[in-house]
Each structure stands twice: as structure tokens, then as C-alpha cells.
């Protein structure tokens, strides 16, 4: 029987891991199945652009995995039983169970809409394509109102990018960005100044040191008892992961991320690996890697090396687990590249303006291309599994 590898999620981490495993391991020994809730690869890094009205094409996963031998199952994951090594799914055909020998858990994250009253019912987010499209429809409906108001809650990278993108793409709308502390507090002094000038240029009103306590249909309520009228409230104040891992007995953090060792292997279930936002991975600086596309690449790469090494009886190579930059777009023609040190603190220097915007655009193109060609650059020779009858560990097959 073939070794069954099931990959949950086909985002930046899942698609990358699945494609590379298909190229590195012999199809005679392994069967790789990818389970994803939608049939498309979602460019999450550009969903704020989609919401603002830009054209963002969705790449079909069946095209992404064409020629790899990967089986795609479009279904919603409803549970994981690590004891039985089974995944339960629901789809148009009624769903069922998928057995696995090795599981790659890469379900990513979604907007944290449950921590504040009214967010789930009344706010919009840009953490998924359907929700970004709902926000786009709402903004379209405000176009003829001559001054509709948009309130973006959260001054992290997503909030900043969303507020500036909407303001640039839809200058007829009034955009307000709500910051819990100082705007751009994690940036260097020079970058903070650049960010403020960009907000001024784009007409983004910034309210600092404010906490939103609740969201209603037409306003956001603040902790000081005041309120701000809003035709569309966009929630970017935090992300959360699926509760599936917590419910099924895997060791997780208090926030539900799977605790992994240096090779991305679950510390409680050795046949389960996690990558991307779902993984609580400790970087080379001793700190947890943040939820980001960059972390998806590093953790995904480490999971690939670990799975291939262990299945073929070879050495498990180690990849770097680092976080070196914050890349922020400020509309289409401006941006900030902020280097950070090993402690995650902003370095004094930064790159801003059109050069930073071009670099960020290049990163987006590179990320899309890499996930649309998941086997590019991988040696065409595939390794046989160590357990294959009559095949020594580490044997390489053309």
C-alpha cells in the first residue's frame, strides 16, 4: 500500500508543501491528497486590493497541481481524529472520511470576529475572498452616496494596507483608521513619519489610543463611551485559527495553534506536521514566528525537509526560521519596507515611497508564481520510501 499524505489547506503553506512533496517523493510509494474548502488558490496578500475594487484573479487549484499526481478534494474539513488517523470532510456529495499516514495541517487563519460584540454580525473583513467581495459590494453601494464613511479597526499591517488602499481607490469615501496605540508603533521613527504623511496625502483620518468595544450596523462604539458613525466597518484587529486542532486533542497554544518542534512536527502526535499560521513555531531568535506569508514559506520548507528525510531514511535538513522585514503597501504607488532585528524590533533605517511599492509588488508576484508552480526548482529525481519492499533507504529513482 502507498503511504498516504493528506494536506489540509491549499494556501501559501499547503500548496507549497503538497507540490514539493509530489516532486520529491516517488509516486510509486506515496499518494498525496490536498483538501481545500474552495477550488481556487486565494491570494490572501491581495484581498485588501480586491475589496477596494482592484482586479485580482483567482487561480484554479486543479491547474496549480496539474501534472503533479496530487489529488484535490474540494471539501470543508469538519474534524481530525489523530488516534484513528482519519480526517472527516463535508462536500456536495455528503462528505466522508480520509485516512492518512502523514498529515500536514495548514488551515491557516481567519479574521478574529468573535472577540468583540457585533463584529461577526456587522463588520467586514479581508481575511477571505468571500468576505473581501462582500466588502467590495458594500463599498460599491456607497459610491453614489457622495461621502460614505468607512472605519477600519486595527493598525497592524492589514489595517494600514486596507485603509490606504480603499482611500486611494475610492477617494469619494471618508476613511478612518482606528489604532489601539500609536500609529505604526512597531515601525522606526522615520517609517512612522512616512506612514503619517501617506495617510495625510490619501485623506485617511487616524484616531489613536482608542479601543473599540462593540460594533453596530451604523457605528463603532469606543471604550470611552463615544461612538463613530460608519457605513462600513472593516475589522482587522487580529486573526484566529480553526478550532479543529483544539477539539481533536492535538497539543495547541491557548490561541489554538499547533505546538511543533524544530521540524514542524506536532509534539503530541508525530505523524502530524503543521505549517503556516496554524503552527506555533519558534524561530531562530527564540520567539514564535508571526502569522505571515514569509512564515508560511519557512515553516512549509522545514516540513518538506522533515517529511522527505524521515520517510526515505535520510537526514532531516534544517531551514532558516527568521523574520527580517515588514512589507507594507500604502496604495499602489507608495510603501514601507521596515527591517527588524532578532528581537523583532524595528531597525533605524527603512525604505519608503515608490521603490518600496515596487519591491512589495514584486514580492506579491513572486509569492503567486511560487504557489502556482509548486514544483519549480525541485530536483526531478524522486526518492523512494525507506519502507518500500526491496528498496534501500535513500534510494533515488529517476
**CB atoms inside a 10 Å sphere around CB 14:** 29
Neighbouring residues of 17: CB distance < 8 A, sequence distance ≥ 6: 7, 104, 106, 275, 300, 303, 304
CA atoms within 13 A on the CB side of 296: 26
Query: What pLDDT was estimated at residue 193?
Result: 96
Portions of the chain given CATH number 3.50.50.60: 3-108+242-322+366-388, 119-235
pLDDT computed for residue 225 by the predictor: 92
Helical packing angle, 189-202 and 157-169, nearest 10°: 30
What pLDDT does residue 363 have?
A: 79
Q: What is the pLDDT of residue 289?
A: 92
- The pLDDT of residue 56: 87
Any bridge partners for residue 80, and if so which?
87
Which class would CATH give 119-235?
alpha beta
For 376, phi then psi, to 5°, come to -65, 140
Spell out the per-residue pLDDT of the chain, length 398, in tens.
899 999 999 999 999 999 999 989 999 999 999 999 999 998 888 999 999 999 888 889 999 899 889 999 999 999 999 999 999 999 988 889 999 999 999 999 988 888 899 999 999 999 999 999 999 999 999 975 567 999 999 999 999 999 999 999 999 999 999 999 999 999 999 999 999 999 999 999 999 999 999 999 999 999 999 999 999 999 999 889 998 988 878 999 999 999 999 999 999 999 999 999 999 999 998 999 988 888 888 999 999 999 999 999 989 999 999 888 889 999 999 999 999 988 888 999 999 999 988 988 887 777 776 666 665 555 556 778 875 543 444 444 43
Torsion angle in degrees (nearest 10) through CA of 5, 9, 10, 12: -110
pLDDT value of position 249 = 85
pLDDT score for 79: 94
At 325 the pLDDT is 85
What does the alpha-carbon distance between residue 146 and residue 308 come to, in Å, rounded to a whole number? 58
What local confidence, expressed as pLDDT, does residue 7 receive?
A: 98
Please tell me the predicted confidence (pLDDT) of residue 205.
97
Provide the whole-model pTM. 0.90
Say if residues 207 and 178 touch (Cβ distance below 8 Å).
yes
Q: What is the pLDDT of residue 381?
A: 64
3-108+242-322+366-388, which class in CATH? alpha beta
Strand order in the sheet with 219-222: 212-215, 219-222, 227-229
> According to the model, what pLDDT value does residue 238 have?
84
pLDDT at residue 324 in the model: 87
Amino acid at each position: 500500500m502507498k503511504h498516504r499524505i493528506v494536506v489540509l489547506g491549499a494556501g501559501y503553506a499547503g500548496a507549497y508543501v503538497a507540490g514539493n512533496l509530489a516532486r520529491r517523493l516517488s509516486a510509486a510509494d506515496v499518494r498525496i491528497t490536498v483538501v481545500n474548502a474552495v477550488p481556487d488558490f486565494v491570494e490572501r496578500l491581495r484581498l485588501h486590493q480586491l475589496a477596494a475594487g482592484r482586479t485580482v484573479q483567482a487561480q484554479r487549484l486543479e491547474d496549480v497541481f496539474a501534472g503533479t499526481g496530487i489529488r484535490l478534494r474540494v471539501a470543508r474539513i469538519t474534524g481530525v481524529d489523530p488516534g484513528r488517523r482519519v480526517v472527516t470532510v463535508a462536500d456536495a456529495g455528503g462528505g466522508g472520511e480520509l485516512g492518512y499516514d502523514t498529515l500536514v495541517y495548514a488551515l491557516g487563519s481567519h479574521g478574529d470576529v468573535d472577540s468583540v460584540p457585533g463584529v461577526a454580525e456587522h463588520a467586514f473583513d479581508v481575511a477571505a475572498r468571500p468576505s473581501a467581495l462582500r466588502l467590495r459590494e458594500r463599498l460599491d453601494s456607497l459610491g453614489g452616496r457622495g461621502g460614505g464613511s468607512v472605519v477600519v479597526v486595527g493598525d497592524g499591517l492589514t489595517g494600514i494596507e486596507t485603509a490606504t488602499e480603499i482611500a486611494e481607490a475610492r477617494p469619494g469615501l471618508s476613511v478612518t483608521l482606528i489604532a489601539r496605540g500609536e500609529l505604526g508603533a512597531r515601525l522606526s521613527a522615520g517609517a512612522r513619519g512616512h506612514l503619517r504623511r501617506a495617510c495625510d496625502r490619501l485623506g485617511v483620518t487616524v484616531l489613536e489610543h482608542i479601543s473599540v468595544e462593540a460594533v453596530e450596523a451604523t457605528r463603532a462604539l469606543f471604550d470611552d463611551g463615544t461612538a463613530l458613525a460608519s457605513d462600513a466597518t472593516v475589522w482587522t484587529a487580529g486573526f484566529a485559527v480553526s478550532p479543529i486542532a483544539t477539539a481533536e486533542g492535538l497539543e495547541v497554544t491557548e490561541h489554538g495553534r499547533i505546538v511543533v518542534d524544530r521540524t514542524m512536527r506536532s509534539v503530541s502526535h508525530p505523524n502530524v506536521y503543521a505549517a503556516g499560521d496554524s503552527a506555533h513555531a519558534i524561530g531562530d531568535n527564540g520567539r514564535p514566528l508571526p502569522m505571515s506569508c514569509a512564515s508560511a514559506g519557512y515553516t512549509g520548507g522545514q516540513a518538506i525537509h522533515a517529511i522527505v528525510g524521515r520517510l526515505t531514511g535520510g537526514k532531516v535538513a534544517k531551514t532558516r526560521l527568521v523574520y527580517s522585514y515588514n512589507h507594507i503597501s500604502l496604495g499602489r504607488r507608495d510603501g514601507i519596507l521596515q527591517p527588524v532585528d532578532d528581537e523583532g524590533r524595528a531597525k533605524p533605517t527603512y525604505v519608503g515611497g515608490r521603490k518600496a511599492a515596487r519591491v512589495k509588488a514584486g514580492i506579491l508576484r513572486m509569492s503567486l508564481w511560487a504557489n502556482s508552480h509548486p514544483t519549480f526548482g525541485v530536483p526531478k529525481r524522486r526518492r523512494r520510501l525507506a519502507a518500500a519492499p526491496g528498496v534501500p533507504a535513500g534510494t533515488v529513482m529517476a
